[in-house]
Structure 1
Amino acid sequence: MTQTDPQDGVVVREPGTGRGTWAMSSLFEHLLESPPGADRLGVALVTQPPGVATPLHRHTRESEAFYLLDGRMDYRAGDDDFELYAGCFMYLPAGLPHAFRIRGDQPARFLALAEPGALLHLYDEVGIPATEMRLPGADGLEPEVEIPRWMEAAPRYGMEVVGPPIPE
């Protein structure tokens, strides 16, 4: 039943039918894609293992929202720290510095929404196509390969690193 109707813009996806990308030791399943330069919302179902963390960063163009389905994460937004768990929602306006770290011993699964959604193409640039809808494990890129890709691609997406990750 996965379908897209170009006439009215309706997108319907069954579980596991989005295009997958492995990046950051994680799975990004693209549910709603926004073409580069378009103002449409982008949505991904993200699965990340414990310990994954982002540096403190900001997006100059995009607002983001997250809805945590499973797991736990610590989130820093501006000067405030939050502990998120299943059922929590967070909205981040464009320009606000933020970072997160996945906590506990289970992966976190969350919906990531970006407006405009072209930001989600950043994961495609730095990662690799997922051959299965699962965490990449040894099939993913090594950090020494992926981190330089992030540093090279991030400015094209208006992403600026402004500080270190949340401590372990």
Structure 2
Amino acid sequence: MPTTDTHTPSAPVTGRLVHHRAGTAPSTWAMGSLFEHLLHDEDSAGRLGVALVTQPPGVASPLHRHSRESEVFFVLSGTMTYRAGDDVLHLGEGDFVHLPQGMPHAFRVTGSEPVRFLGLAAPGRLFHLYEEVGVPAAERRPPGPDGPSAAEEVPRWNAVAGRYGLEVLGPPLPEDA
């Protein structure tokens, strides 16, 4: 009996293979947090950026939106409260959230332990913002007094936000959100 070849030609490879052993990805201290840059946009033909993020309790972002990217968060450990549009989400280990491009959002790390999550941005250029505003991490941990202060970072955030399509809309989530 004859067979039919169902193999179709492959699409051309775009981007490049990236592999990081645990603890070896380039890392940045920004926002009082550790960003381990697992995939840069230039490695994925601009399509995706991926970071492993560790943030200590109390870290909070202002209400903001991204005009160019959608974001995805998958919580590995710890807890955080997320405002996404009009919804307030209480996230913990194993929780997933997708933020469509343009959706106003803010978060606050809750509980007594740091939160660790896998963050994805599509397209992927957004993670360069943290490298531009922050500093190379001296160690694989969130920064302490040896990291940049908010007084040092905030003017840099304000200076570069527009280039990344980041618009601040309001204050951070309150502690009791």
User: What TM-score bracket applies, with the shorter chain setting the length?
Assistant: over 0.9
The question of 1:110 aligning with 2:108 is answered no
Matching residue of 1:9 = 16
Q: List aligned pairs for 1:1-168, cutoff 5 A.
A: 9-35=16-42, 38-168=45-175
- Whether the aligned pair in 1 keeps the contact of 2:73 and 2:98 (CA below 8 Å) is yes
Q: CA deviation at 1:31?
A: 0.3
Query: What runs of 5+ residues in structure 1 fail to find an aligned partner?
Result: 1-5
Letter in 2 for 1:83: H
Paired residue secondary structure (1:28) = strand
- The alignment covers a number of residue pairs equal to 162
Using the size of structure 2 for normalisation, the TM-score is 0.88
* Structural RMSD (CA): 1.6
Larger Rg: 2
Percent of residue pairs identical: 60
User: Which range moves more in the overlay, 87-96 or 126-135?
Assistant: 126-135
Please list the CA deviations of residues 18-60 of structure 1 after superposition, one character each: whole Å capped at 9, or x if unmatched: 0000001100000011139x53210000000000000000000
- Whether the aligned pair in 1 keeps the contact of 2:61 and 2:172 (CA below 8 Å) is yes
What is the alpha-carbon distance in structure 1 between the residues aligned to residue 85 and residue 46 of structure 2? 25
**4+ residue runs over 6 A deviation:** none
Query: What runs of 5+ residues in structure 2 fail to find an aligned partner?
Result: 1-12
Q: CA deviation at 1:152?
A: 1.0
**Whose strand fraction is larger, Structure 1's or Structure 2's?**
1
Cα 1:81–1:132 change in 2 (3 A) is same
Using the size of structure 1 for normalisation, the TM-score is 0.92
What is the alpha-carbon distance in structure 1 between the residues aligned to residue 113 and residue 59 of structure 2? 11
What is the alpha-carbon distance in structure 1 between the residues aligned to residue 150 and residue 23 of structure 2? 26
